[in-house]
């Protein structure tokens, strides 16, 4: 097996003992990052091979259809947050249908003292909201005049308290961070975890002032399409994965590519992997990794621990997603995107999304789909609980918060050991290590969610930027 080969054997493999192939670019990982990257490179005429260790494309993105329900088992939605995503959608026009949310889903709920409260959508609603203290509401009025921070590694929590007050952290930002990162705002570094928020203060001196100025600036036609609306794809996000795979060419995507090891080889890179009991060799001029941080040392044994150590210490949130589908929902009306739970509420869940209320045809008439999230950075031990314990917790929380005790027609549990990377204090060192590795080994690129953001739009943007760099030869 590959794992028993020596480094010398990996550097100079016996071609007669394995299947050999050449390509311009090898992409490791067929998640949204790797597939988008391969799609654009292939579209530009580049020869690309994607190596994926599992038996499917898409990584954690997957859609299930059962009993008249359509539900996601990984990410539920994306956000139209940048031009690169818009360009991808326009390139795939006619092949996928981008699904926009129901208007009611603009309502976001926050649990406070056991009751749902709508999250404010602007300054005026923020001032009148029961979520925040009177002192912090008055403090909000002075936010445009507050001095900008000087600490580049300021946490999200410290920044929000400094500019807006503790109650805004507790009942707006904390649940938002739980919904996006399943993380702790006291640990996440703003310039890495929320770079756009950080830029508003640094460039304009204020969140509010910056948002107003940016909103009034003239926009190109492409920029106008960056609506920051949530989105899905008709039929589910797996449809996007499927069409990217088809457009890239399934013959260029090698699934079940296990035990992948990459070594420098004669000015290129030698990728050796096992597939269906056979050993294969792929020589590529460039290799782009989109794998998780803990897989990088084994994938690139030549780099050395002194350089990969700053990458492998990346923390990941451990998450459980429970999907509960009801054919006849009799709880409170689900006229919202979903509800998020502040950590101060001391609940056993992070939040509940209402996918069938956001997008059409996700449930039968009068039905509902709920995605209940547990665990995260604050409660990683939830992942160790049994299925029965998870089921009991989920159903009790649904009954308590959404006022329905009926048993779901479909109930599924999905566990993710390494779900969402946390861009904490070690992020700067990790980015420096990545830069150093890429400089030392030209043609090697370390991509994926170890840097540049965690959302679907972030992954697409990174892929487009890398593809453009390779295509232009820069």
Task: Determine the average pLDDT of the residues in 291-311.
Answer: 96
**Please, which pLDDT band fits residue 417 given cuts at 50, 70 and 90?**
very high
Is residue 82 within 8 A of residue 223, CB to CB? The reply is no
CA 108 centroid distance within chain: 20
What's the pLDDT at 122?
Answer: 76
Provide the pLDDT for residue 18. Answer: 59
Q: In this predicted structure, what is the pLDDT of residue 121?
A: 81
Give the tens place of pLDDT for each residue, 450-463.
999 999 999 999 99
* DSSP code at position 269: E
Q: Bin 277: left if φ > 0, else alpha if -120 < ψ < 50, else beta.
A: left
Instruction: Find the Cα–Cα–Cα–Cα dihedral 420, 426, 428, 432, rounded to 10°.
Output: -100
Given a cut of 80, is residue 9 above it in pLDDT? no
Task: State the residue for tokens 């950075």.
Answer: 377
Which residues 6+ apart lie within 8 Å of 365 measured at CB? none
Structure token digits, residue 151: 């600490």
Q: Which of 96, 104, 54, 102 is nearest to 74 (CA)?
A: 54
316-421 sits in which CATH class? alpha beta
For CA atoms 448, 452, 456, 457, the dihedral sign is negative
**What are the strands, taking DSSP E only, across 204-355?**
230-233, 253-254, 258-265, 268-275, 278-289, 316-326, 338-340, 351-353
d(CA 177, CA 351): 11
The answer to whether the beta carbons of residues 266 and 119 sit under 8 Å apart is no
Assigned fold of 132-222: protoporphyrinogen ix oxidase, domain 3 (1.10.3110)
Are 464 and 84 in contact, with CB atoms under 8 Å apart?
yes
Domain extents in the chain = 2-60+235-313+423-472, 132-222, 316-421
Cβ-contact 150, 144 below 8 angstroms:
no
Structure pTM? 0.93
Residue 112 predicted with pLDDT over 70: yes
Is the model's pLDDT at 313 over the cut of 80? yes
Percent of the chain with pLDDT over 90: 90
Q: Are 186 and 192 within 8 A, CB to CB?
A: no
Report, at the CATH architecture level, how domain 2-60+235-313+423-472 is classified: 3-Layer(bba) Sandwich (3.50)
Cβ partners under 8 Å of residue 118, min gap 6: 107, 108, 109, 110, 129, 336
Query: Where do runs of H (alpha helix) occur along 101-189?
Result: 123-128, 134-141, 156-163, 166-168, 174-180
pLDDT at 3: 38
């Amino acid at each position: 097996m590959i794992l028993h080969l020596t480094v010398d054997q990996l550097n100079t493999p016996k071609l007669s003992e394995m299947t050999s192939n050449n390509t311009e670019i090898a992409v490791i990982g067929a998640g949204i990052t790797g597939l988008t990257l391969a799609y654009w490179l292939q579209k530009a005429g580049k020869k690309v091979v994607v190596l994926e260790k599992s038996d499917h494309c898409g990584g954690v993105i997957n859609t299930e259809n059962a009993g008249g329900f359509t539900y996601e088992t990984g990410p539920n939605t994306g956000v139209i947050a940048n031009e690169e995503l818009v360009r991808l959608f326009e390139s795939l026009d006619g092949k996928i249908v981008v699904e926009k949310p129901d208007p009611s889903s603009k309502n976001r709920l926050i649990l406070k003292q056991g009751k749902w409260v709508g999250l404010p959508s602007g300054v005026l609603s923020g001032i009148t909201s029961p979520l925040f203290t009177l002192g912090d509401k008055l403090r909000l009025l002075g936010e445009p005049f507050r001095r900008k921070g000087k600490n580049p590694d300021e946490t999200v929590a410290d920044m929000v308290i400094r500019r807006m007050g503790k109650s805004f952290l507790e009942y707006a930002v904390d649940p938002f961070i739980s919904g996006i990162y399943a993380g702790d705002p006291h640990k996440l570094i703003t310039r890495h975890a929320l770079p756009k928020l950080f830029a508003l203060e640094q460039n304009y001196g204020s969140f509010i002032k910056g948002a107003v100025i940016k909103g009034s600036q003239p926009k190109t036609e492409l920029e106008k399409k960056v609506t920051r609306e949530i989105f899905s794809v008709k039929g589910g996000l797996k449809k996007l994965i499927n069409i990217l795979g088809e457009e890239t060419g399934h013959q260029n995507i090698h699934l079940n590519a296990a035990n992948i090891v990459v070594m420098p080889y004669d000015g290129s890179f030698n990728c050796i992997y096992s597939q269906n009991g056979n050993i294969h060799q792929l020589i590529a001029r460039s290799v782009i990794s989109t794998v998780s941080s803990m897989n990088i040392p084994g994938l690139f044994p030549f780099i050395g621990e002194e350089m990969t150590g700053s990458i492998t210490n990346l923390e990941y949130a451990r998450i459980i997603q429970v999907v509960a589908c009801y054919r006849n929902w009799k709880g409170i009306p689900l006229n919202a995107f979903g509800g998020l739970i502040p950590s101060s509420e001391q609940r056993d869940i992070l939040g509940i999304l209402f996918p069938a209320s956001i997008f059409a045809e996700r449930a039968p008439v009068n039905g509902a789909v709920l995605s209940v999230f547990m665990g995260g950075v604050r409660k990683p031990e939830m992942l160790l609980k049994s299925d029965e314990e998870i089921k009991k917790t989920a159903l009790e929380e649904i009954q308590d918060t959404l006022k329905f005790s009926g048993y779901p027609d479909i109930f599924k549990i999905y566990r993710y050991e390494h779900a969402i990377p946390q861009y904490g204090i070690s992020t700067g060192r990790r980015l420096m290590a990545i830069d150093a590795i890429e400089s030392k080994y030209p043609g090697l690129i370390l991509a994926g969610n170890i840097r540049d953001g965690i959302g679907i739009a972030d992954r697409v943007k990174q892929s487009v930027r890398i593809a453009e760099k390779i295509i232009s030869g820069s």
